[in-house]
Structure 1
């Protein structure tokens, strides 16, 4: 596994404000990825510490951050009440050890055990990073935003920074799309292929259809693989770090496990994947022509997000559930491969930096409510 090394920092972190990140374990890497995006922008100015429900905790540590792991409720045999009770104790112990100046929760549903531990500890600043774009009719979260000092909504493509006041003195802030990497950290085609030990010549397509934890992607994937191989592409298949079962790959398909994937996207002539938040933001950042296959089993509206991508860059949106759909989608994408890959003007992707500044201000007490 490849990760970005921690930045050199000769200044002691003891004098920095402490920010404790709590990321849930979703169907993909989104919650962890956003917390790492914020933490990387805070490096050298704060001491980020993680409490992670995501099983890929080694990624956090290899990036140079401290981390504790607690099993996700989806993988626990405990009842909801028992799991939340244990969470309250475990997270309370972490709060006593870290003594954070700010706590950042990234997830759709703030757990009762988490909220109980924060209330008992007397959290000085509480932040909820809550991605939007839910489907119509999706369950509403019975947690009052006013319990938080700051609610950060990582925006979709085209979103700009804005703030509104919440009851009890808090704020809700929309920020532009959140990306893990800055633009200059994304390798160009030659450098990315060199880093992945891929030949400079040849046509490569990257498949990232998700870990398959909530949706069986093998059938769709195998059908698309055959089409791209027939068109002369070498297929590379991403193995997700949090996957609980690997898709059996046909002979000749190259498996790839790398993080962060965004760093290497330009090595590929085309991308095939689900329309998760991270993937869509990173594809616009890299400009790689894409076939987006929305996952309809998730709470977020991936079809709508995929169409946003297709509005600003070469991208095809298709469910790819039948041979006819797959054939038409691949044919349309192949016609797009010579389109300029530069990012369209006017699409900010600096949400991570803006969110980090707001978190830091809270941690330092400059914007804490009374």
Structure 2
């Protein structure tokens, strides 16, 4: 089960775990994400429930409906485990878990929270376990979950696809119909639903297209807002749907991205020279801290959205510098990493069957 999310983080982490579970498990998805089709396309039974914001209703009216939907789903397909990936914890979920204490309930809770979400930590004890997917930038995490790390099961950063599982450069470029001699820059600045990236996006594209040997591959978010700004300005600028984009990322020479959990860890662990533009909306995680961490270590560049007028062009020039790109890739490749998704699967398989239920 996952919440709606502005990006794909919650759903992508659950797909990463589901793909690694053994044949005796049958993952079933209940999600509020508008990218729910990605789970269905992956072969998983999927139920989509709109978040109360999307319905324009109050939580007090929405939570009983969520509780009813959960109850019907549990009766239809009684689960051995409920793995919940979200920041907010909803009353309808809490009430359902209280009635079904035989279900092993896990809160898969990524860190880098903002202070406004602290209230949800009081509900941690309602779960049998809390798993924290790791953060490369953990040392800059100043959020409210930091003080509780000793109480949770921490695992390394979670990726759907390991860097070595990507397509080779030539095959990836062939599948994307990209010229072999072009400098390809992937652009992935999020859905735009809560933080307007259009000014910095347009400034970055303009700076990139001043170079005739550059192709901008503009990757549309599966949960994007619609709008007329999604128009390719010239043949060097291509707008495509591609998920998971990381599979083809060896085709990219560089990237301009928002450092959400998935994209940040994919680009750093994949050694992709990246200009990070954080989504700094109040309800988001600490994307600025992630970007600062990578910039301080020479692994990436940072441009804040509101600095686009003076910062976009020099940042793009640095990104296109071959020596800079080689340096960033080399620093990224120094990281030693194992996939936290494997650790999460082991934890669930070891604890979900026959675990004594705690009193709620």
**TM-score (normalised: structure 2):** 0.88
2:266 corresponds in structure 1 to 282
- 1:275 to partner: Cα distance: 1.0
Q: Distance in 2 between matches of 1:234 and 1:344?
A: 25
Secondary structure in 2 matching 1:151: strand
Which of 313, 316, 323 aligns to 1:327? It is 313
- Contact (CA 8 Å) 1:155, 1:178: kept in 2 or not? yes
Q: Distance in 2 between matches of 1:231 and 1:30?
A: 33
Deviations 1:46-104 (A, max 9, x none): 11111111122221111111111111222012221111010000011011111001101
1:235 corresponds in structure 2 to 216
1:307 corresponds in structure 2 to 292
Secondary structure in 1 matching 2:180: coil
Which of 254, 269, 281 aligns to 2:238? It is 254
Deviations 1:81-140 (A, max 9, x none): 1110100000110111110011011000111011112222334211001111124x3331
Which of 95, 98, 109 aligns to 2:74? It is 95
Q: Distance in 1 between matches of 2:167 and 2:270?
A: 9
Q: Distance in 1 between matches of 2:247 and 2:298?
A: 19
More moved, 24-33 vs 171-180: 171-180
1:7 corresponds in structure 2 to none
- 1:43 to partner: Cα distance: 4.2
Which of 125, 136, 140 aligns to 2:118? It is 140
2:206 corresponds in structure 1 to 226
Structure 1 unpaired stretches of 5+: 1-21, 161-165
2:325 corresponds in structure 1 to 337
Q: Distance in 2 between matches of 1:284 and 1:179?
A: 11
| Count of matched residue pairs | 340
1:364 corresponds in structure 2 to 353
2:144 corresponds in structure 1 to none
**TM-score (normalised: structure 1):** 0.86
Q: Which has the higher helix share?
A: 2
1:3 corresponds in structure 2 to none
- Contact (CA 8 Å) 2:137, 2:289: kept in 1 or not? no
- Contact (CA 8 Å) 2:167, 2:248: kept in 1 or not? yes
Q: Distance in 2 between matches of 1:193 and 1:368?
A: 51
More moved, 240-249 vs 45-54: 240-249
Q: Distance in 2 between matches of 1:256 and 1:100?
A: 37
Deviations 1:142-195 (A, max 9, x none): 4321211110111101769xxxxx9xxx96111111101123321222121122
1:17 corresponds in structure 2 to none
Query: Structure 2 vs 1, CA of residues 190 and 366 (structure 1 numbering), >3 Å: closer, same or farther?
Result: farther
- 1:231 to partner: Cα distance: 2.3
1:49 corresponds in structure 2 to 28
Q: Distance in 2 between matches of 1:27 and 1:220?
A: 19
Query: Structure 2 vs 1, CA of residues 61 and 313 (structure 1 numbering), >3 Å: closer, same or farther?
Result: farther
Secondary structure in 1 matching 2:98: helix
